[in-house]
Amino acid sequence: MTGDYGTFKAAAIQAAPVFLNKKATMDKACSLIGEASRNGAQLIVFPEAYIPTYPYWYPEGHALWGRWVYSWRDLLRNSIEIPSQDTEVLCQAAAKAGACVVMGLNERDSLSQGTIYNTMLFIDMDGSILGSHRKLMPTSHERVFWGRGDGSGLNVFQTHLGRISGLICAEHFMVLPKYALFAQGEQIHCSVWPGAPGGLKPSIDAACRCLALEGGVFVIISNGYITEKDIPDDFPYKKNMEFTAFGGSGIVGPRGNYVAGPVYDQETIVYGEIDMGEIDLAKCALDMVGHYARPDVLSLNLNKEPLTHLKLTAARATAPPAESHDLKKAVQDLVVQIREHPYPELLSAAEGLLEHI
């Protein structure tokens, strides 16, 4: 029966960006997309904030009055608006490869121009943008670099490979966003991380294997990788950076087992075969949004309304004189009828309505 289910090859990119250089990093990304495609990959996933880099440095003292503000401005200037000519380049690379691409990038707010988001961009095999997801809650020092996302980006996308979605870094420790994706039918989860700074190595492994088991999904883990030699010597924070982003990319099956990897301490592409039939076998025992769920006991509300800083209220409409006269006459007739029948509880309401016409 295996032949009745789709199978394909997925690729988890584990590569250093060209530090704080958008164009050069995009060129490298397009080259990696081509390489992965030539090796048969139909789903290609890049690490968190790959373009132009994850902020591996920390601000000193009061961030706004130190050198840090200039490094933040460099990150802003090398961030990507969605959509834009930059995303068109990535879309063309995906279309040429005939592959779905999930790109981790720094997104510049196209309206305010002064806020950066940690974003996953989902591109279909035909080069069209499926959507994007902004990290809901930046972690620790990330909060001085990035704004917060909202529920409008918690979506699952139907593709020819299956239903794809993903989360960013510590979002994998947030229980509710994971379930929100499971409940929308996620089958293939793209898990992007900056590497393993601060001793995250065992946490990433546990979080991704647990998510795969809970959701009965495949998890494509793309972990960042960067070394001291990848940072220009004139970058003011180089001496204070912690070079522990040593990878850990891999692919986990829906029963929590590694299909490929994890691979550490090298720049590489991790490939793995995805057999969608394995999902059915996993969900035979545990379907967390089906036969193993109790929505009558526990349920989840997801607010998908985009966060906005401006809400326009339309002016109150005024009825034309003729319509107003007809309405008043109708209410007057209603008052008469109420008085003639035993409905005293409605009389005061009708009289009050009449006073406001």
pLDDT tens digits in sequence order for the chain, 357 residues long: 445 679 999 999 999 999 999 999 999 999 999 999 999 999 999 999 999 999 999 877 655 566 788 999 999 999 999 999 999 999 999 999 999 999 999 999 999 999 999 999 999 999 999 999 999 999 988 999 999 999 999 999 999 999 999 999 999 999 999 999 999 999 999 999 998 766 678 899 999 999 999 999 999 999 999 999 999 999 989 988 878 778 999 999 999 999 999 999 999 999 999 999 999 999 998 999 999 999 999 999 999 998 888 888 776 656 566 666 777 787 787 777 777 766 666 666 667 666 666
What is the DSSP-derived secondary structure letter of residue 247? E
Least Cα distance to 258 among 223, 209, 206 occurs for 209
Q: 30, 48, 100, 201: which one is catalytic? A: 48
Q: 9, 28, 135, 283: which one is catalytic? A: 135
Q: What is the CATH number of domain 2-283?
A: 3.60.110.10
Chain centroid, CA 263 distance in Å: 24
For the entire predicted model, the pTM comes to: 0.85
Joined tokens for residue 58? 């920390």
Joined tokens for residue 261? 């990897």
Q: 100, 169, 190, 208: which one is catalytic? A: 169
Q: Is 169 a catalytic residue?
A: yes
Q: Which residues pair with 263 in a beta bridge?
A: 249
Q: Is 190 a catalytic residue?
A: no
Q: Is the peptide bond before 342 cis (omega within 30 degrees of 0)?
A: no
Cα–Cα distances (Å) from 241 to 76, 79, 146, 198, 313, in that order, read 20, 21, 19, 12, 48
